[in-house]
Amino acid sequence: MGILVKDLNFTYPGAKQEVVKGINFEVERGEIFSLLGPSGAGKSTVQKILFGLLKGYSGTVRVLGRDMSRSKPDFYEKIGVAYEVPNLYERFTALENLRFFASLYAGLTRDPHDLLERVGLEDAANTRVGAFSKGMKVRLNFIRAILHDPEIVFLDEPTSGLDPSSTRRLKDILLEEKQKGKTIFLSTHDMFAAEAISDRVAFMVYGFIKLVDSPRNLKIEWGEKKVRVECRLKKDLLSQEFPVEGIGENPAFLSLIRENPVETIHTQEATLEDIFIRLTGRELK
Amino acid sequence: MRALAAIKADMLFQYRHGFYAVYFLITVFYIVLLRLLPPEPGTFLAPVLLFTDPAVLGFFFVGGLVLFERKQNLLEGFLVTPLRPGEYLLAKALSLSLISLGTSLAIAWLGVRVPFNPLLLLTGVSLTAPIFTLVGFTLAVRSRTLNSFILVSFLLTPVFVFPLAEYFGLFTHPLLYLAPGRGGMLLLVGSFRGISPTDAALSTLSLAFWVVLAFLWAKKSFYRYVVERGMVSW
């Protein structure tokens, strides 16, 4: 088991209201799991508990088999964390940053040059981070988090500030990590990022987890079971919807696609954002 | 190993943020000042400079360091690495004390034209500097703003004032033995004018006691203000 959270409640010292209200979830080893929710939902608090930074919770939290209420500093040899706002020495070069952070770990660390190349920063290895763009900092911060080959990688808003090609590279690296059996825990309000890569997502709002499932199941379950066909009729675009059930024997559907040039055919799945709004009454942003 | 890595990183960090340049200029200024004075007042003033310099600079520079680290979100990042709070604090205290040691020796050698006992001087500086660095850290993480840090720093004034007042012959009291700065002052004065072995031993013990106390206080503050409450940004 990668992560086990059972009946977790948390109230900040001195605060009256609970910020985490009886949540439950499990993350298997080798799974990519996303905690989706708007800011203020309690995602950061859950992460801090998973990192062993907040101890005064009630319930059970185990990460890599360790009880997080009594975690020891050597736990950090096993996890890698990339926060949304990069944690980097601005006046050190990219390489100096990676070498320093690598020196904090007892075990072997990956070759910083290889990692820099993976995220397209090889030419910036000897440039000070202060001169980096936001996206470059995010990429460097990401490889800093996987430098020591951690068992679990925690990423907070991983695509924030990244362009589409960098996002794709990041996704490829994460899928590779998953192949190696590593667990990935994402925390985000970006449902595209979550949908594209996650094995399962959890919807969190107002301190509760409303649901945990795979994006595919959610989209099928919550989507309308219809097929939309768009055909070109001279200059007009004809758009028609048909029930998915019995589509192969539906005469209207069959004659439409037989007699007209089809431009698109799509099943009408719901997006995660639609489902989130319908379930929680809140938008993700 | 981790502590060593942290010390190296702190030194590079301080260098890149211009701390060494500032120390260099202050040291040159002190040396020139002492050179311009006739030998007698120079020798009288030297322990005062050597006492206040590492103390004041260690205190304010650690405040600056924490400020820069917060701006770069470094503290937040350290919390999820194997670096222990004790190692983090050790690196701060040692890296800043090293600069103090270097400048004190330079001031004593080049600025004061009388022989001095380097062992007493090194002991005095290397045990005084960490006290102020660690207390500075404690106050820096507790302060919500830079201004409030500067305000609470006035709380430290007595620590400077009493040993100096005693040195200037303004007053003395047996309880002053317990004051955190006094041991440092006695050792520094002793390095130029001699000191009884008992006084040297007591001063060293008293300084060591305050170093340990300051370290424990800083560590507690680290847990309470950095780990538990998250960073308060300036």
B222: left (phi over 0), alpha (psi -120 to 50) or beta: alpha
Confidence at residue B164, expressed as pLDDT on a 0 to 100 scale: 84
Q: Inter-chain contact B13–A77, Cβ cutoff 8 Å? A: no
User: Which helix H or strand E contains A79, and what residues bound it?
Assistant: strand A79-82
Q: Which is nearest to B19 in space by CA: B99, B86, B81, B94?
A: B99
Distance from CA of B227 to the nearest CA of A (A): 6
**B26-65 residues touching A, CB cutoff 8 A:** none
Q: How close B198 comes to chain A (CA, Å)?
A: 42
The pLDDT, as a whole number, for residue B230 is: 60
Bridge partners (DSSP) of residue A234 are none
What are the residue boundaries of the structural domains of chain B, listed by start?
A: 2-230
pLDDT at A285: 65
pLDDT of res. B233: 39
The whole-angstrom separation of Cα B210 and Cα B217 is 10
Q: Does B142 touch chain A (CB under 8 A)?
A: no
Check if B81 contacts A (Cβ < 8 Å). Answer: yes
Sequence letter at residue A11: T
> Number of CB pairs < 8 Å for A and B?
63
Q: Mutation test of the interface with chain A: which of B11, B80, B84, B225, choosing the one with the most A Cβ atoms within 10 A?
A: B80
Contact flag A100-B5 (C-beta cutoff 8 Å): yes
Strand ranges for B56-132 from DSSP E: none
Query: Residue A103 and residue B84: Cβ atoms within 8 Å?
Result: no
Look over chain B and give the mean of its residue pLDDT values, rounded to a whole number: 88
Chain B residues within 8 A of A91 when measuring between CB atoms:
13, 16-17
CA distances from B193 to A52, B104, B116, B151, B187 (A): 54, 17, 8, 36, 10
**pLDDT of B174:** 75
Where would I find the H helices in chain B? Answer: 2-16, 19-36, 39-71, 74-79, 85-106, 118-142, 146-152, 157-167, 182-193, 197-221
Cα separation of A226 and A244, whole Å? Answer: 5
Say whether A87 and B227 touch across the interface (CB within 8 A): no
**Which residue on chain A is closest to B5 by alpha carbon?**
A103
| Any B CB within 8 A of A78 CB | no
DSSP classification of residue A41: S
Contacts of B8 in chain A (CB under 8 A): 100
pLDDT confidence of residue B80: 94
Q: Do B13 and A92 touch (CB under 8 A)?
A: yes
Does B147 lie at the interface with A, CB-CB under 8 angstroms?
no
The segments of chain B whose pLDDT lies below 50 read: 231-234
**Torsional class of B66: left (φ above 0), alpha (ψ -120 to 50), beta (otherwise):** alpha
pLDDT tens digits, one per residue of B188-211:
999 998 999 999 999 999 999 999
Sequence length of chain B is 234
User: Chain A contact for B1, CB < 8 A?
Assistant: yes
Q: What is the pLDDT along chain A (285 residues), one digit of tens a residue?
A: 899 999 999 998 888 899 999 999 999 999 999 999 988 889 989 999 999 988 889 999 999 999 999 988 899 999 999 999 999 999 999 999 999 999 999 999 999 999 999 999 999 999 999 999 999 999 999 999 999 999 999 999 988 889 989 999 999 999 999 999 999 999 988 888 888 899 999 999 999 998 999 998 988 888 778 899 998 877 888 889 999 889 999 999 999 899 888 999 998 888 888 888 888 877 766
Which amino acid makes up residue A284?
L
Which amino acid appears at position A241 of this protein? E
CB contact under 8 A, A89 and B17: no
- pTM here? 0.88
